[in-house]
Amino acid sequence: MIVLNSKAQLTVDVIAKVAERKITIANATKLLNKSRRTVERYLQRYRSQGLQFIVHGNTGSEPVNKTPDSLKQQVQSLIREKYYDLNLLCLAEMLETHEHIVVKRETLRKWAHDIHHVKRAKRRRSRVHKRRERMDAPGLMLQMNGSTHRWFGDKKSCLIAMIDDANSDIHADFFPSETTEGCMKVMRSVVEKYGVFKTLYVDRAGIFGGPKRCNFSQMQRACKELGIEIIFASSPQGKGRIERAFDTLQDRLIPELRLNNISDMTGANSYLQHVFIPHFWRKRLIVKSRTSGTEYTLLPLYTNLDDICITKVYRKIRNDHTFSYGGKLYFIDSPLKHSIANQKIEIRTAKNKQFEAYFAGRKLQVTEVTEPEKLSSEDNEIQKKLEVLALANRLGNVAEASRLSGVSRDTIYRHRKLLKQGGIQSLKRQEAPDLHHKNRTDRAIEEVVINVSLSNPHMGQQKVSMRMKAEFGIDISANGVRNIWLRNQLNTTQLRIEKSQCALIV
């Protein structure tokens, strides 16, 4: 049994077409990005071995000259910690001289790029871009890109479009911005109308799985599930077909939208789909492909686009069969025969932003776990008072409840009285700023202490205490003076000086 991935399947399809003389060898070399000699060798092996030609002879074996992973980790560790500011040439010399490690230049470059140890490349002359012939049949290659422009109205919007490389047939839609959902919608419309195409030619944007997305994206995953090979262009000129199409669209579509007084996205999409593309583009700009056949393949009956053209993420299941998503905690309600703890669950998000959880292709029923809210400081204080009162009622002895809880008996009796008279709300702390505590210094004495402190701001609390006893016959301790200062924000010399100056100004 031979299991083929999308790339191998593409190679087999192209070589089979060459064997049937439906595709030339020159076009096969461009489509597979192989040399003519390689394509001829594939063709010879296909005729003699059949599908077995695609399986490489070294499949499953490890190269004899493979560099040990321990050496790679050692070199990358040295680059991060010791040689992080050296270029590759100097780095190779330092490793050989000081670390006695000899690594080939290309291998060292790959290892350095894996940990993002790169230097800015020097500016070079622009390359010569040679003309590339169109593909022979529709469906072999489609180019895709988005153009953000002021297409209609005063705000910018994005036109996401796909164009067939063989005949320039176009499929497009307006969106607020270039997003994964928009690209999937345009691609899905093509697949539903014509079928699955072979390759998708795009730029290196993160949406398509370029370097910004660490070689993974939802579009890349969807194309892989459909069997579509993604080819990344190294320059805008590489996908010149779609770039020139946007020039034509900006020259022709924008004036037509303005002349028809279309300033909203719904009207622009309607005009684009029902008027501009069928009556202008497909009548005047579509060219005839070299072959009359098509390379679009019908979508298999078991394939559901609703399960492919959506956003899929994965979460790890906890030991209690819960998982977190979107800042919330969810519990799996579906009956399970065996535990699936520590396994990955698939989260599928549809257009309405509602997600569904799947495990091994099976939809799971989940419910949100509602965490109890934490009590506020005031509610927590009331709860503690109620617990002490409940303890006293359960024991039937206020003294024992006071000993166990650390709350005085007077306080328990007072709280019991308040609860009986006013209910739970009466247990709240009553703010009474004007209420003078029975153990607090008399107000008249406090006024005298404040006046003496402001008159002599450089005196300490001990001297103020002695001055009060000597001049006014008031016996107050230094700690009492300190407490009065704290209540009136006079506890530092600077504060007392500022307060005395304010009093003089007044």
Per-residue DSSP letter, 62: P
Which pLDDT belongs to residue 471? 87
pLDDT at 445 over 60: yes
- Which helix (H) or strand (E) segment holds residue 461: the answer is helix 461-471
Which pLDDT belongs to residue 505? 60
Handedness of CA 225, 226, 227, 230 (dihedral sign): negative
Select the highest-mean-pLDDT range: 75-84, 115-124, 126-135, 194-203.
194-203
pLDDT at 268 over 90: yes
| Neighbour tally for 429: CB within 10 Å | 10
The tokens for 312 are 């899929």
pLDDT at 413 over 70: yes
pLDDT at 269 over 90: yes
| 470-494 confidence digits (pLDDT tens) | 888 888 888 988 989 888 888 888 8
Which pLDDT belongs to residue 419? 84
pLDDT at 279 over 60: yes
Q: What are residue 365's phi and psi, to 5 degrees?
A: -90, 125
| 354-377 confidence digits (pLDDT tens) | 888 888 888 888 888 876 665 566
Which pLDDT belongs to residue 255? 84
The tokens for 233 are 């262009």
| Neighbour tally for 444: CB within 10 Å | 9
Residues in the chain: 506
> Following CA atoms 10, 15, 21, 27 in sequence, which dihedral angle do they give, to the nearest 10 degrees?
70
| Neighbour tally for 325: CB within 10 Å | 16
Q: Can you give the three-state secondary structure of 469-489, one letter per residue?
A: HHHCCCCCCHHHHHHHHHHCC
Q: What are residue 13's phi and psi, to 5 degrees?
A: -65, -45
Burial label, 497 (beta-carbon count in 10 A; 0-12, 13-18, 19+)? middle
Which pLDDT belongs to residue 161? 94
Which pLDDT belongs to residue 87? 72
Q: Are strands 199-202 and 355-359 parallel, antiparallel or unpaired?
A: unpaired
| 26-47 confidence digits (pLDDT tens) | 999 998 898 999 999 989 888 8
- In angstroms, rounded to a whole number, what is the distance separating the alpha carbons of residues 116 and 165? 35
Q: How far apart are the first and last CA of the chain?
A: 100
Architecture field, domain 141-284? 2-Layer Sandwich (3.30)
3-state percent helix, strand, coil for the chain, nearest multiple of 5:
50, 15, 40
Burial label, 164 (beta-carbon count in 10 A; 0-12, 13-18, 19+)? buried
Nearest to 137 by CA among 367, 294, 321, 337: 294
pLDDT at 71 over 60: yes
229: confidence class by pLDDT, cuts 50, 70, 90? very high
Q: What are residue 492's phi and psi, to 5 degrees?
A: -125, 160
- Which helix (H) or strand (E) segment holds residue 145: the answer is strand 141-149
pLDDT averaged over the chain?
85
pLDDT at 20 over 70: yes
Nearest to 465 by CA among 483, 473, 477, 453: 477
Amino acid at 244: R
501: confidence class by pLDDT, cuts 50, 70, 90? confident
**Choice between 436 and 332, residue whose per-residue pLDDT is larger:** 332
pTM over 0.85: no
Q: What are residue 388's phi and psi, to 5 degrees?
A: -65, -40
* H helix intervals, 82-193: 88-98, 105-114, 180-193
Q: Which range (87-96, 206-215, 342-351) has the least confidence? A: 206-215
